Amino acid sequence: MEIGFIGLGNMGAPMARNLAAAGHRVTGFDVSGAAVEGVAKAASAAEAATGREAVITMLPSGAILGSVYAEIVPAAAPGTLMLDCSTVDVASARDAATAATSAGLEPVDAPVSGGTGGASAGTLTFMAGGSEAGFARAVPLFEVMGARSVHCGGPGAGQAAKICNNMVLGISMIGVCEAFALAGKLGLDAAALYEVISTSSGQCWSVTTYCPVPGVGPESPADRDYRPGFAAELMLKDLGLAREAAAASDAATPLGTHAAELYDAFVAGGGRGQDFSAMLPWLAKQGRDG
């Protein structure tokens, strides 16, 4: 397939590389001028979108998505699959879908879960919003870049699912970090607590797959000095999107709100550039009243 890929950052670059390695002809563009092995370079986003069967975007915000779509929608050929894998607010995703549909294009919003490790390994999960036909066209690309894809509903539904999923993740990681920090102050061995939680009612992904304690459980960023698989500032961004969505829909999310406040304090207090699971050593340094 002829694919344009716009946004070759920490996530986009390995995703584009995997598509090229699978035999697709990928032309990429990034404002930084980044080059990716096997991916031809375009001089602009519009050039990357011209004459392609699919155009994939992986961008940092809804505002940037809107500006890029203003450039690439007029350049894309009718019927082009417009696959946006950015994590943005639901309103921006729906605006992009409306612009694409009005131009005779096929939009699918498909944010991902799995972090940079999943992007490199091709094991991402895609949460997709759009038409059944658009999702069906995207599935062969999802199968190269990821291990699972779920059609969540119409335009914006993928973003809604991502926001809800990451709110759960942010809340659960804080709970796990609090438990291990408390255990340390009680003199409890972290490995013993891991064995208890991972096999009982406290079991969750933040423990069994991504344990924030070095040397406990499967290898995770905690074992690499908390170098980010998913950076704390990105978790803060996603929790902010959840707060915006909750406000817009009049939904009560008290734990999501408090999780956002804690990640805001963590990032401001030195957590920027660390994995979101580095909440553990930060909490361990706090006293009872923070």
| 8 A C-beta contact, residue 177 and residue 277 | yes
Residue whose C-alpha is closest to residue 120's, from 150, 87, 144 = 144
DSSP 96: H
Q: Evaluate if residue 165 carries a pLDDT over 80.
A: yes
pTM of this structure: 0.90
Give 243-270 pLDDT, tens digit per residue. 999 999 999 999 999 999 999 999 999 9
Catalytic annotation, residues:
162
Would you state the pLDDT for residue 286? 87
Would you state the pLDDT for residue 290? 56
Specify the amino acid at residue 80. T
Q: Evaluate if residue 173 carries a pLDDT over 90.
A: yes
Residue whose C-alpha is closest to residue 15's, from 32, 37, 42 = 37
Would you state the pLDDT for residue 23? 97
Would you state the pLDDT for residue 116? 87
144 pLDDT band, cuts 50/70/90, is: very high
Give 110-128 pLDDT, tens digit per residue. 999 988 889 999 999 999 9
DSSP 203: -
Give 15-61 pLDDT, tens digit per residue. 999 999 999 999 999 999 999 999 999 999 999 999 999 999 999 99
The two beta strands, 2-6 and 112-113, are unpaired
Strand-pair partners of 3:
26, 54
Mean per-residue pLDDT, 164-180: 97
Q: Evaluate if residue 151 carries a pLDDT over 70.
A: yes
Would you state the pLDDT for residue 289? 63
287 pLDDT band, cuts 50/70/90, is: confident
Q: Evaluate if residue 229 carries a pLDDT over 90.
A: no
| 8 A C-beta contact, residue 135 and residue 161 | no
In angstroms, the CA 275 to CA 15 distance is 20
**All domains of the chain in start order, with CATH:** 2-154 (3.40.50.720), 160-284 (1.10.1040.10)
Query: And the tokens for 22?
Result: 């699978």
